[in-house]
């Protein structure tokens, strides 16, 4: 079985299990989506949602966070990992949006990736989930799953993104990114499946008997 055949199996199984894919990070607008994605680094979506549910009803525009200031932002997100670094990014990001973009989130990869604290993965999530632009955000979890399923060599997240974009039609990218995340959390967990027990792993590699070692992103 080659990677194209495996990709078809993956798509078929994921479409059957997850016909709809709600965005896991709760948000009120594209700005709060951007903030939530930034906060989710090294942190679960559940934890981010628990924190932001008390923030976004009152603070949901760049101007709000500029007015708050860094120290008050720190207090609001204290229960999130590396909160001081993230508070600095949230403040600087908000200030840049106000000063340079009239408080609006820019709509291009180039402009997004120039914002404080925003990398390619964060920009990809905002472009796909916020603006509906075809993108394939790759985090460490998708990187791991793509290796287990034989869809990439696993050299790095850049290579994984290239491989997945090559294997799957563009029209599926935005939904597929979320489907893979949901499936990984439910069925192909890092310390439970090991590439040998879930439906996708057993369908793609029916003869695999030993746990597969994946390369870190």
Residue numbers annotated as active site = 121, 139
Residues 6+ apart with CB under 8 A from 110: none
Euclidean distance between CA atoms 149 and 10, whole angstroms = 8
Euclidean distance between CA atoms 14 and 37, whole angstroms = 23
Per-residue b/e over 98-129, b at no fewer than 16 CB within 10 Å?
Answer: beeeeeebbeeeeebeebebbebbbbbbbbbb
Euclidean distance between CA atoms 83 and 79, whole angstroms = 7
Helix (H) or strand (E) run with residue 170 in it: none
Opening angle at CA 117, ends 116 and 123, nearest 5? 100
């Amino acid at each position: 079985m080659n990677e194209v055949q495996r990709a078809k199996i993956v798509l078929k199984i994921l479409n059957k299990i997850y016909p709809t894919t709600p965005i896991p990070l709760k948000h009120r607008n594209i700005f709060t989506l951007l903030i939530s994605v930034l906060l989710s680094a090294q942190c679960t979506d559940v934890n981010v949602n628990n924190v932001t549910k008390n923030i976004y009803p009152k603070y949901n525009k760049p101007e709000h966070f500029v007015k708050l200031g860094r120290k008050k932002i720190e207090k609001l997100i204290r229960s999130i990992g590396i909160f001081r670094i993230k508070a600095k990014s949230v403040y600087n990001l908000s200030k840049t949006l106000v000063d340079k973009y009239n408080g609006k989130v820019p709509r291009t990869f180039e402009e997004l990736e120039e914002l404080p604290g925003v990398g390619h993965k964060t920009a990809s999530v905002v472009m796909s989930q916020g603006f509906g632009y075809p993108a394939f955000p790759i985090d460490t979890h998708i990187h791991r799953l793509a290796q287990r399923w034989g869809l990439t060599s696993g050299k790095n997240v850049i290579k994984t993104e290239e491989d997945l974009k090559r294997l799957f039609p563009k029209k599926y990218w935005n939904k597929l990114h979320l489907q893979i995340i949901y499936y990984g959390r439910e069925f192909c967990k890092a310390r439970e499946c090991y590439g040998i027990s879930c439906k996708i792993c057993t369908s793609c590699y029916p003869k695999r008997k030993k746990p597969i070692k994946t390369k870190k992103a």
